[in-house]
């Protein structure tokens, strides 16, 4: 696939917003070279001065999780990595939470957490899902100032220590090397393999600096973070000798070819339309657009899933050989499952993309649905447009997350007073070329399969939301069931889905269920 087309896809997966901040009092900590072989590079003098050694601020707090009070230590800082010549190459910002009072902290579970993008900082999972303080929003209500945080009664700190990692070039971190275009160009870190290696190096350095080699270890990624997790799990286990107990995936995407947004440039591929259909059905169910709304959502979705991989798949596979009677029958069935007008479905040749669906479902009201959480809706910028031109979910929540993260980092964690927090980084161009090569679209199904083959004790938990049109839930199921590995390893995969969207934690009931499931998963895997 051409690089220009790939570049257009970079912003499609996770909401990434640009955030500026003010900024910490920092206390220096010892720094060791990461030891990994790397080419000699030069570094900007200003960058080296600012990021010559790792820094952090240490604070303490208390969180009450489902009625249980937990005291914790919070380390907010920059972990600086160096090449084999001892030259700083990359500073990655992080916030780590450690439960206090443990008899042997070195053996407590530890979970490494990150968002996606690529190019998104880990603000969303930190302030919305797992941190001890979370943004004070009420599910689908539009947020407005003054913003605040509240105790997160579903923080994961009861089950595991937590490390929230900002991707290279995001958060308070900086790319330090001067290579291929100047200081901070990111050429060594902005790509599938480059990013995966940076995260693997961070984790190795972190568990060394914090004496956590003996801890049960987990990866938790959302959106492109699931794509990253497959790569990192493979690198850690096969080349770093770091065994993982589990990988937790939220809103999975393992191959870009499964996105309907790619189909206009990749004609002849109909699988994306099959995999997104159950999410269309869930969205139409939620907005009361089904001609005959069933009494319960999940049995209805099982029916749509079966149709998607049977009658619908057979019809699409026939292409121009599809007879008119079957064409009409499938169009009528799609109308029953999606609420879209039959004439619209026929004009689309039975193939409606995610952005088209978001624009059309509520078109009679001149509204669009959210893309990453289709429960949300908003006025259409252009009611005559073919596809939705923004995501209403972002307009509801972005300012609240941005404001609370900036305030919390500086006022509570005492870090960032002289820096800018980048909620999204300039990571383009992103290198999708794999070191081992690949054919067609970027795909990390091999990485996940190899990680599970290499470590047959590795357990995987796949989770997501029914109302996600960006990374449809059934897409994740299909990918996991088609991993190129022995079928007996499928027993190591668990699934759970929620009546929420891409960021399932926006819905309080889903967050509680997700917490209990993930906590149980961790406790059962060490």
Q: Which domains does the chain have, with CATH numbers?
A: 3-256+399-523 (3.40.50.1820), 268-393 (no CATH)
pTM, rounded to two decimals: 0.90
Count of beta carbons in the 10 Å neighbourhood of residue 485:
18
3-state secondary structure (DSSP) of residue 502: coil
Return the minimum-mean-pLDDT range out of 33-47, 386-400, 437-451.
Answer: 33-47
Task: Give the model confidence (pLDDT) of 49-69 as tens digits.
Answer: 556 778 999 999 999 999 999
* Separation between Cα atoms, residue 85 and residue 193, nearest integer Å: 21
Mean pLDDT of 497-521: 98
* Separation between Cα atoms, residue 411 and residue 465, nearest integer Å: 33
Q: Please indicate whether residue 474 or residue 34 has the higher confidence score (pLDDT).
A: 474
Percent pLDDT > 70 in the chain is 88
Give the confidence band of 435 by pLDDT, cuts at 50, 70, 90: confident
Check pLDDT > 50 for residue 89.
yes
**Which pLDDT value is given to residue 104?**
93
* Separation between Cα atoms, residue 262 and residue 330, nearest integer Å: 23
Check pLDDT > 90 for residue 31.
no
Task: Give the model confidence (pLDDT) of 271-321 as tens digits.
Answer: 999 999 999 999 999 999 999 999 999 999 999 999 999 999 999 999 999
Q: Please indicate whether residue 140 or residue 155 has the higher confidence score (pLDDT).
A: 155
**Which pLDDT value is given to residue 176?**
87
* Separation between Cα atoms, residue 85 and residue 514, nearest integer Å: 44
**Which pLDDT value is given to residue 9?**
47
**Which pLDDT value is given to residue 25?**
29
Check pLDDT > 90 for residue 373.
yes
Mean pLDDT of 96-103: 96
Contacts of 423 (CB under 8 A, 6+ apart): 16, 17, 18, 19, 120, 121, 123, 170, 402, 405
**Which pLDDT value is given to residue 185?**
54
Give the up-direction half-sphere exposure of residue 268: CA atoms within 13 A in the CB hemisphere.
1
Give the confidence band of 92 by pLDDT, cuts at 50, 70, 90: very high
**Which pLDDT value is given to residue 271?**
97
């Amino acid at each position: 696939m051409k690089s220009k087309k790939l570049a257009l896809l970079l912003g499609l997966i996770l909401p990434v917003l640009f955030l500026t901040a003010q900024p910490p009092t920092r206390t220096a900590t010892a720094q060791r070279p990461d030891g990994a072989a790397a080419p000699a590079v030069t570094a900007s003098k200003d960058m080296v001065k600012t990021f010559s050694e790792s820094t952090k601020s240490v604070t303490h707090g208390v969180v009450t999780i489902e009625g249980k009070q937990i005291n914790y230590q919070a380390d907010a800082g920059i972990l600086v990595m160096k090449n084999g010549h001892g030259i700083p190459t990359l500073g990655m910002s992080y916030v780590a939470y450690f439960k206090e009072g443990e008899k042997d902290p070195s053996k407590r579970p530890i979970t490494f957490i990150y968002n996606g993008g690529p190019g998104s900082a880990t603000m969303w999972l930190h302030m919305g899902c797992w941190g001890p303080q979370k943004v004070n929003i009420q599910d689908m209500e539009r947020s407005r100032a003054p913003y605040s945080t509240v105790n997160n009664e579903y923080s994961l700190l009861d089950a595991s220590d937590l490390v929230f990692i900002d991707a290279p070039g995001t958060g308070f971190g900086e790319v330090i090397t001067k290579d291929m275009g100047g200081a901070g160009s990111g050429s060594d870190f902005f790509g599938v393999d480059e990013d995966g290696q940076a995260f693997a190096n961070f984790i190795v350095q972190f568990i060394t600096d914090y004496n956590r080699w003996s801890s049960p270890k987990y990866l938790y990624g959302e959106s492109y973070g699931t794509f990253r997790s497959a790569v990192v799990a493979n690198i850690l286990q096969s080349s770093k000798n770091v065994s993982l107990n589990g990988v937790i995936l939220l809103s999975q995407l393992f191959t870009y070819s499964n996105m309907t947004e790619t189909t206009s440039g990749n004609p002849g591929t109909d699988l994306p339309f099959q995999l997104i259909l159950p999410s269309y059905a869930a969205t139409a169910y939620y907005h009361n657009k089904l001609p005959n709304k069933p009494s319960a959502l999940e049995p209805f979705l099982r029916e749509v899933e079966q149709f998607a991989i049977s009658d619908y798949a057979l019809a699409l596979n026939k292409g121009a050989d599809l007879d008119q009677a079957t064409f009409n029958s499938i169009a009528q069935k799609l109308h029953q499952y999606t609420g879209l007008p039959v004439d619209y479905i026929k004009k689309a040749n039975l193939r409606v993309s995610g952005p088209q669906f978001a624009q059309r479902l509520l078109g009679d009201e001149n509204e669009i649905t959210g893309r990453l959480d289709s429960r949300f809706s908003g006025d259409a910028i252009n009611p005559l447009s073919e596809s939705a031109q923004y995501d209403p979910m972002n307009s509801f929540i972005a300012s609240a997350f941005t404001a609370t993260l900036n305030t919390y980092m500086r006022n509570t964690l005492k870090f960032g007073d002289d820096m800018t927090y980048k909620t999204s980084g300039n990571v383009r161009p992103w290198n999708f070329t794999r070191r081992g090569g690949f054919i067609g679209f970027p795909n990390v199904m091999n990485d996940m399969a190899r990680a599970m083959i290499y470590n047959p004790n590795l357990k995987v938990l796949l989770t997501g939301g029914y109302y996600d049109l960006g990374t449809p839930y059934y897409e994740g199921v299909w990918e996991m069931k088609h991993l190129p590995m022995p079928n007996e390893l499928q027993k190591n995969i668990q699934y759970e889905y929620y009546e929420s969207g891409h960021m399932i934690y926006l819905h309080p009931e889903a967050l509680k269920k997700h917490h209990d499931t993930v906590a149980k998963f961790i406790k059962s895997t060490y």
